Structure 1
Amino acid sequence: MSAHKNIYIGMLGCGVVGSQVAALLEKNNAELSTRAGAKLILKKIAVRDIKAAREGINQSLFTTDAQSVIDDSEIDIIIEVMGGIDPARELILAAIKNGKSVITANKALLALHGADLFTAADNKGVDLYYEAAVAGAIPIIRPMRESLVGDQITRVMGIVNGTTNYILTKMDEEGRAFADVLKEAQSLGYAEADPTADVEGIDAASKAAIIAGLAFHSRVSVDDVYREGISSITADDVAVAKTMNHVIKLLAIAELTSDDRISVRVHPTLIPRSHPLAAVRNAFNAVFVEAKSAGQLMFYGPGAGGAPTASAILGDVVAVARHRVSDSVGPRESDYADRAIAPIGDTKTQFLIRLNVADKPGVLAAIAQVFAKEGVSIQTVRQSGRGNDAELIVVSHGATEEALSSTVSALSKMDIVTKVESVLRVLGSQS
């Protein structure tokens, strides 16, 4: 360990994650300092309420003046775990301006204002690290930024939200309705009182933007991400998936199109049970990477929680501290490719369309004509009677979202179609 250098750390926020960071930094300080090459000293923690109970953390570290942490000339590294957009953005930019390296777990901020933050860090010559912003303890940012930098990533798919994965797992394994499992998830602490950010895919979309930008060396904002949540998924949808030996997961997908654009989206997807992502249960996360030379890789583990997320943050702390000791910086933002974002209408995948139709001769032929007219090829059709009506389940070959939208619109206007019950993407050989 260097005898001439201490690394002083300031922290913004001390909630579930921040408390774990502070506790682990104290508990494992000797080991972490040895790895970093300098003594790691947590000097100040900015919080809203200085009187709140935070067991095991030195009360003298706390201040309600966040700016004083940013302006402390002795502090080398700022850890931002306060969350939200403002004032986190202004504080991080001020910290960078003051020559401090920054570690953040703030995926919403990075997905919305990452370009400004990375530019500021590059111009100042400091680190901006964010391993904890995607998939908690799972090491995915560093492998994509460093280990796979000599390869060409073609697609990244992730289950990156534990709340939705827990809900969909229980719906699949126990046959329960969405609303019922959501209440259970809230009672267990897996879902917030207001679960909108999770169940509507907002959280996953932020992570998808970060992953896409990193994988394809281009700047991607959360505004570029097409998003659908899981609140409309029914027990019938899950049951149909089961009959096909598939499971429904909320996937964040970022991939290169055939014309070298980026398709980035979040939506429920039917996955074959033979696929590794299908086995990711409950609140766990996984990220599946496809690269030209490395092939298929999967990173799996707890995607949230105080200790797992703190693990990722402390990994960044050691890495950044090493850079401060050696007067260097880590990998910069890589946005040289500047690829365009493909509109969702141009994205090609397979679809499952479930409809209620009149149970009479000629219906199937009429339905098939609509698909043919819109240029969507049918892979399989399954029909089951329901009194005077029948349920028709159609799985397409690969087709664009634009063609699908036109097909569904045309189907819904047919007299023989009672209702288009659901439309789901299918992860298959042509997706």
Structure 2
Amino acid sequence: MSTHLFPTYKRWDLTFESANGDTITTPDGREFIDLMSGIGTVNMGHNHPEIVGAVEKQLHRGWHGSNFFQYDQQEQVAAQLADMTGLHRVFFANSGTEANEAAIKLARKATGREEIVSFTQSFHGRTYGSMAATGQAKIHEGYAPLPDGFTYAPYNDTEQAEKYITSDTAAVIVETIQGEGGVVPGTQAFLEKVDTLAKANGALLIIDEVQTGMGRTGEQFSYQKFGLDPDIVTVAKGLGNGFPVAAMMGKEALQSYFGPGSHGTTLGGNPLAMAAVHATLNVLNTPGLLSGVEAKSKHALQHLREQCEASEMVTEVRGAGLMIGIACGQPVAPILTKLQEKGVVALPAGEKVIRLLPPLTISEERLAQGLDTVMGAIKETAKTKA
């Protein structure tokens, strides 16, 4: 097919026509169970009526005025986020990488230090600062020289963390579960140690919740599961249920370092985005939604682990909430292709991990159907390889 697009994505032989709830439909009428949620963005399901209605209402009132105007919607959403996190200062952007760029800039300015510590196999974005914070060589290839001042400590290694986090450190940026790095959960001991070391050395703790936030792991934000005390939290993806929007949230003491002219964005926090976020937060806080995520997670993980016990291909099932990784002993691309043939879409996380990120609103029955299809595709692929 002729295209004028840069080939930055290995696109599937599927065309998106429409979506509703946990179902994606192609122009020829094929329906797919969605176990990827737009890479963890459409957490409340496609075409959610409350969220669509809020955006549609704002659409007719106005899209953009600029951040020189007072936006009541921004204040309303910032207050919601502050109530949820205890972080009382918010900067709105358009994507996770922008939120992480803002966090890195704020940390360096607030501490007067340069060094940012992140972790091997992390992912924080593709702009220069966030890419430099990403601990994956393949993301860096072809873009040298990267900005100075970034070091990568081994993930889940408390002893090594002590060597990397020092009095020279401006901030530590960490994911509680490494998403792009393979759906690898941080241990309680490791994450607590990182938090303690940051505070002991006068460094800021930045938690990247771009993929793990907004209920994905069964809490509003995943750091809450571990009892951590971050100085800065970044969130995007599910924040607007797929609408392009992000936020960097910080403690009150940081507000003086981001004064007029210190940072900015033309479109960040526009009224359409704020309408999407406000409605999404309302849905997220619906009684029973998060407990439902925990219940579905428990059943899903138990079911997958039982099914995978006898599998020679699967080495581990891991994750939290509805962020699940199935680690395999070989590349998973053929499995994902077979899944599409069977009417399910899912993602890789690295070369050998199947990543499942279904909408949080998916029913138990629909989720079970999708998981059975995943296991069927794994078994069929194993037979083919044998």
TM-score in terms of structure 2 length: 0.30
Q: Which has the higher contact order (CA 8 A, sep 6+)?
A: 2
Q: Higher strand fraction: Structure 1 or Structure 2?
A: 1
> Which of these two proteins has the greater Rg computed from alpha carbons?
1
TM-score in terms of structure 1 length: 0.28
